[in-house]
Amino acid sequence: MKTVFSDVQLKHDPKHDLADGELKDAVEIPARAKIVLKTIEQSGLGEVVEPEEFGLQPVRRVHGQDYLDFMESFWGRWTDAGRTGSEAFPFVWPVRTLRHDVDVQHIDALLGKYSMDAGSPLGEFTFEAAKASANTALTTAQLVKEGADAAFGLCRPPGHHCGPDFFGGYCFINNAAVAAQWLRDHGAERVAILDVDYHHGNGTQSIFYNRSDVMFLSLHADPKDEYPYFLGHADELGEHAGKGYNKNWPLPLGTGWDAYSEALDDACRWLGVFQPNYLIVSLGLDCFEKDPISGFKFQSNDFTELGKRIAKLKMPTVFLMEGGYAVDDLGVNCVNVLEGFESLRPSDENDRSHGKS
């Protein structure tokens, strides 16, 4: 299985998070990608390749132009405003009775307009790294479209919390959504996204909530108790044409593999009904028992079982990395998923359909 990654993705290097009412050391750091890359290279899993350059057109198919303009111009506006800090945090949002139709220009107002939380700092190289991460996702999708059973996009920063016109949850471009839309634009009738991150992929859900051509399935910590709180509940089934094509499995804190695997089996049954041309896996690795911001209880060998269960679907599969912050164990857990998947690949390459429309 090939892995796609660019060193440009390391240029986003936040120093702090705002979490639990405190300024803390950042957890979405370059070391995450470095340890995964190192472990993949040591494992002999497959070749590591650079992403191709796709430009912003595929990203525009998912994200609003005004949002992208803000992200592209942010650092210049930040410094022009006399700000000297190395990273910026939003602190005010247009909620409830505040107006959404005001053409704001102040940098702090723009930060609030285009964000969902105060824990995702923007820096000088954030958007450059996010664009490289999107190119990684697109190249991974392209490899599978061209006939690979599966490929892994080492996306960093992650993407699944980023919505059509906002960033948050350490996410600035929604890599899974961009890849799914690209596959649709290149002939796929149906694409499914299976999100196994500990946190609900609220951005991905919001992008496809009204559509029946992209199914979104998410297993995650119950948002009654965990970020993002305001999306990811079981009664969110999609709207209009998308009704029935969005499904959430909110699970209680303390969930381990046995209970999780039952929900995963249910999600896989829905994938069997939908029969997508391609499956995109938003591969969060933060269900791990030692993850600093997780309440689930996966052990490292459970990730192997996760990979095996996905392989049983026998679908062309695009793995894209999302969360996972226990850096010391992150590489092993990631490789366990991919090796578990590879262990059940059919010996005859013709046993699988490669994205027939």
Annotated active-site positions, please? 161
To which residue do tokens 């596959």 refer?
183
- Non-local (6+) Cβ contacts of 60 within 8 A are 68
Distance of alpha carbon 203 from alpha carbon 320, whole angstroms = 15
CA distances from 325 to 108, 125, 202 (A): 29, 21, 19
- Residue whose tokens read 């890599």: 175
Going by the DSSP 8-state scheme, the letter that residue 114 receives in this structure is: T
The residue behind tokens 């804190």 is: 253
Q: What tokens were used for 213?
A: 């051509």
164 close to 63: Cβ distance less than 8 angstroms: yes
Burial of 299 from C-beta contacts in 10 A (0-12 / 13-18 / 19+): middle
Measure Cα distances from 168 to 11, 90, 112, 157, 342 in Å.
18, 10, 11, 11, 33
Q: DSSP string of 203-239?
A: HHHHHHTT-SSEEEEEEEE-TTTSTT-SS--TT----
Cβ contact 198:294 at 8 Å: yes
